[in-house]
Amino acid sequence: MKALLSSALLLSPLLLSAASPTKPLNIGSRWELFMDSLLLTQVKGVTLKLHEPVRREVVLVTDQPWEGPTCAYFSAIQDGKKVRLYYRGSAGGSDHSADQVTCVVESEDGIHFSRPKLGLIEAGGTKENNVIWRGVESHNFAVFLDSNPAAKPMERYKALGGVKEPGKNWMTGETPGGLYAFASADGLKWNKMRPETVMTKGAFDSQNIAFWDEPNQRYTSYTRIFTNKIRDIQSSPSTDFLTWGEPTLNRYEAEVPREHFYTSATIPCPTAPHLYLAFPKRYMPGRKKIATHALPGVSDTVFMTSRDGVNWDRTFLEAWLRPGPDPLNWTDRNNMVASGIVETGPGEWSLYASEHYRYPDHRMRRLSLRKQGFASVHADVKGGEFVTPPLIFTGKKLLLNYSTSGTGRVQIEVQDEAGKAIPGFALAEMPELYGDEFEAEVTWKKGSDLGLLQGKAVRLRISMKDADLYALRFAP
């Protein structure tokens, strides 16, 4: 029943208790974000709340001769102080056109982008452009920065790109063609890692992404496939980025509606790589809001999470990013979120989304949200509380990412596995915590040192009023 959790939290705390782990959950010293029900039992008066991003400034208009109104499939990469956006340059035409190019723009702050004049590939009648690849693989050339500690220096950047050849069964991946593997030392000069395709089981007519999957010590890809003519997402594992295992379809709770997911934008959470985040562009092909537009279809973006990369939690069925009041965002293939999260300021994460697809001013807009702030446990002014399942942790102090109103509060009691308050850490022994902080240290009257409890199973009873709790961590 996870998909209905937004309402179930208030209506059925017993449901959450039954779904909690049967043995202590070892969370070590990692961040745990409140985006699903795993840490919620004995719930009273709180709910999981989805937080929509804030639309910020337009960071790029794809108006150069080698770009065009159907540029798409953006990847956002943060490499030290440099931020890059990679994307397809396209003015329309066939998915199989060899004239498609891959472009890059650069920024020092994730807000102000410029086109480097690379001099690598002629496009638009000049080499003074930002093009890094030309060919059919540019249709969906999707870049990531390889965080594998064993990655070769010449392969710090990697990418997947390619399409299936036309044919009767291309949707199910049965025609020739597929994805190629690319590598680069600097993210600008690229080579195929081998001349043959590395992945053939898929439809691939979308953004097909991959990343170093730290918890599993392998690469994982998320690619396009159709199931019963519905746009779907599948994942595959690889140890070397060249040989890929059998694909596995994303799995959802039985009551979750089947929807077209045009892209997935799946990534490991930057501060908690054991959590997988996805921002699928949800596509409604049968809708047409603007009668004068040539093609049907409207889209928004949803938010979903996973703890194993295969079974996906749809707690939030509502849109994370709506088209908004701009009518040009209500036509086909808009509101597509780029793959990747960029840190653009203290406590601020940024993503990027497409607008005005097929229009001369096709563009990318920055979206901002609180660091780790996709969702929270929320209590209104009446207050509420919940208890975690038994946890085993490593560390000496408890940190919270939280926000309250001026009259709000958060208080925490540390309990033993049976639910009895541990002396010195009872609710009444913690002064009310209020404010808006990203790593607030929890302190009781006797102090904040939890070192004697590490390695033992404990529960946290968390009481809140007019507050949001986004994440917690036991830290060294």
| Per-residue model confidence as pLDDT tens digits over 275-321 | 999 999 999 999 999 999 999 999 999 999 999 999 999 999 999 99
pLDDT at position 170 is 86
Instruction: Kindly report the average pLDDT of the chain as a whole number.
Output: 94
Residue with tokens 């001099």: 119
Per-residue pLDDT, averaged over 56-63, amounts to 98
Alpha carbons 63 and 58: distance in angstroms, whole number: 13
Identical fold between 2-51+376-475 and 54-370: no
Torsion of CA 76, 200, 282, 377, to 10 degrees: -60
Per-residue pLDDT, averaged over 442-446, amounts to 97
Both structure tokens of 414: 């540390």
pLDDT at position 21 is 52
Q: What is the CA radius of gyration of the chain?
A: 23
Half-sphere exposure of 43 (CA within 13 A, CB side): 28
Q: Identify the residue with better confidence: 2 or 54.
A: 54
In this predicted structure, the answer to whether residue 10 has a pLDDT above a threshold of 60 is: no
Both structure tokens of 229: 């003519």
Number of Cβ within 10 Å of residue 454's Cβ equals 16
Name the helix (H) or strand (E) containing 439: strand 436-441
pLDDT at position 446 is 93
| Per-residue model confidence as pLDDT tens digits over 21-53 | 569 999 999 999 999 999 999 999 999 999 999
Which CATH number describes the domain made up of 54-370?
A: 2.115.10.20
pLDDT at position 6 is 41
Query: What confidence tier does 91 reach under pLDDT thresholds 50, 70, 90?
Result: confident
Nearest to 413 by CA among 386, 441, 452: 386
DSSP string, 190-229: -EESSSS-SB-SS---S--EEEEEGGGTEEEEEEEEEETT
Query: What confidence tier does 155 reach under pLDDT thresholds 50, 70, 90?
Result: very high
Per-residue pLDDT, averaged over 69-83, amounts to 97
Number of Cβ within 10 Å of residue 289's Cβ equals 15
pLDDT at position 1 is 41
Asked if 403 and 51 count as a contact pair (C-beta separation under 8 A), the reply is: no
Query: What confidence tier does 329 reach under pLDDT thresholds 50, 70, 90?
Result: very high
In this predicted structure, the answer to whether residue 112 has a pLDDT above a threshold of 90 is: yes
pLDDT at position 430 is 98
| Per-residue model confidence as pLDDT tens digits over 389-401 | 999 999 999 999 9
pLDDT at position 93 is 85
Nearest to 50 by CA among 472, 366, 470, 353: 470
In this predicted structure, the answer to whether residue 15 has a pLDDT above a threshold of 60 is: no
CATH 2.60.120 fits domain 2-51+376-475: yes
Strand partners, 54: 368
Domain boundaries, given as residue ranges, for the chain: 2-51+376-475, 54-370
